[in-house]
């Protein structure tokens, strides 16, 4: 039976259209709501890898739901209900064309750019002499444009966003404030469970004149976490940090000659590596939530999703 969901093609009551992103299949319900199915697809370097990861959709959806609930007093968000472990139902918003990246540490792509000589990210100056995984004096916001599927997001500065009329200055200032508020709350929750929220991305949309936090938040697909225990010792000794994020998948791909560049071939993922990724996602869930992960029945994921969603939609 089907133990992962790589794609969906349902026909729900009131359905107007389907949008398929790198990981999520989004169903437009009556042009007013969205039914977002978090698949078991996994992407890296803006490329969807060929194999699905068991329980990944459930992990991402349930972490996002918990953080959306935990931050709803800071900023309104799109979530209304979670009719299935892999599905969120919520408000259909008009997305802003920019993703808000928050970085508290110099790591990942920012470190790779810094190591290559860059001393500025999105118009923000980065001082000389920093080391990999070093904490910034205060978190920085480094936005990116939202690229079409298969293309890479591009860094953009605050001034460029406003001058290009992508977002008005008033709205962008509010989005910045929301971004920092949600990041600080997420950092506090992570710290309570022995983790460091290193960097993450948030997306926002608008509906009826109101700004909403949309999509996933603080998941291992959109965020990077370090273990707090041992961070300083590892940093002092120039050692890699023990982290819970998708970065280890990127590192594995790079070791096998793939960085999403034209002409490169995606390396084959073995069953054991797929299972390792699955267990890493579950590990993050249990660490960040402080709760044991309940593995839902995955003997036939597509059928379960359709049944649960149809039952929920009847209640509207």
How far, in Å, CA of 112 to CA of 291, rounded? 34
Residue 57's pLDDT is 95
- Whether the pLDDT of residue 150 is over 80: the answer is no
Is the pLDDT score of 149 beyond 70? Answer: no
Band the pLDDT of 104: cuts 50, 70, 90.
Answer: very high
pTM for this model (two decimals): 0.89
pLDDT of 148? 61
Q: What share of the chain in percent tops pLDDT 70?
A: 97
Residue 147 has pLDDT above 90, yes or no: no
Identify the CA nearest to 40 among candidates 23, 64, 18, 62: 23
Mean pLDDT of 290-304: 94
Predicted confidence band of residue 247 (pLDDT cuts 50, 70, 90): confident
**Pick from 110, 276, 297, 6: nearest CA to 284:** 276
Residue 200 exposure: Cα atoms within 13 Å on the Cβ side: 27
111-144 tens-digit pLDDT:
999 999 999 999 999 999 999 999 999 999 999 9
pLDDT given at position 220:
83
Per-residue pLDDT, averaged over 79-86, amounts to: 98
What does the pLDDT average to over 72-94? Answer: 98
Mean pLDDT of 137-154: 81
- Rounded to the nearest integer, the mean pLDDT of the chain is 94
- For the stretch 17-49, pLDDT in tens is 999 998 999 999 999 999 999 999 999 988 999
Helix (H, G, I), strand (E, B) or coil at 165: coil
Structure confidence by residue, pLDDT tens digits, 178-191: 999 999 999 999 99
**What are the structural domains, with CATH classification, of the chain?**
15-94+274-313 (3.30.200.20), 96-245 (3.30.470.20)
Considering only CA atoms, give the Rg of the chain. 19
- Residue-wise pLDDT for 189-244, tens only, equals 999 999 999 999 999 999 999 999 999 999 988 999 999 999 999 999 999 998 87
**pLDDT of the residue at 284:** 83
Structure tokens at 35: 């039914």
| Neighbour-count burial for 132-167, b at 16+ CB within 10 Å, e otherwise | bbebeeebbbbbbbeeeeeeeeebbebeebbeeebb
Mean pLDDT in residue range 142-149: 81
């Amino acid at each position: 039976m089907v133990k992962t969901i790589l794609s969906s093609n349902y026909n729900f009551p009131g359905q107007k259209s389907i949008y398929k992103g790198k990981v999520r299949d989004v169903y437009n319900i009556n042009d007013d709501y969205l039914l977002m199915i978090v698949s078991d697809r996994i992407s890296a370097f803006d490329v969807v890898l060929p194999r699905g990861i068991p329980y990944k959709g459930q992990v991402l959806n349930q972490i996002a739901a918990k953080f959306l609930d935990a931050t709803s007093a800071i900023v309104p968000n799109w979530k209304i209900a979670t009719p299935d472990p892999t599905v969120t139902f919520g408000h259909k918003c008009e997305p802003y064309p920019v993703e808000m990246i928050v970085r508290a540490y110099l790591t990942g792509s920012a470190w790779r750019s810094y190591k290559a000589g860059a001393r500025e990210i999105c118009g923000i100056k980065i001082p000389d002499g920093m080391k990999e995984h070093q904490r910034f004096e205060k978190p920085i916001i480094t936005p990116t444009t939202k690229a079409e599927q298969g293309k890479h997001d591009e860094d953009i500065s605050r001034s460029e966003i406003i001058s290009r009329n992508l977002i008005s200055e008033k709205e962008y200032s509010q989005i910045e404030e929301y971004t920092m508020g949600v990041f600080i709350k997420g950092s506090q929750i992570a710290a309570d469970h022995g983790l460091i929220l290193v960097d993450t991305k948030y997306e926002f949309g608008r509906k009826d004149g109101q700004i909403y936090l949309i999509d996933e938040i603080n998941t291992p697909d959109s965020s990077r976490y370090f273990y707090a225990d041992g961070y300083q010792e590892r940093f002092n000794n120039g050692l890699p940090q023990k982290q819970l994020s998708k970065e280890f998948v990127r590192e594995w791909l790079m070791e096998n000659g793939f960085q999403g560049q034209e002409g490169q071939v995606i390396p084959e993922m073995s069953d054991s590596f797929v299972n390792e990724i699955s267990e890493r996602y579950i590990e993050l869930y249990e660490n960040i939530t402080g709760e044991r992960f309940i593995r839902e029945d995955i003997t036939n994921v597509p059928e379960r999703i359709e049944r649960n969603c149809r039952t929920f939609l009847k209640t509207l």
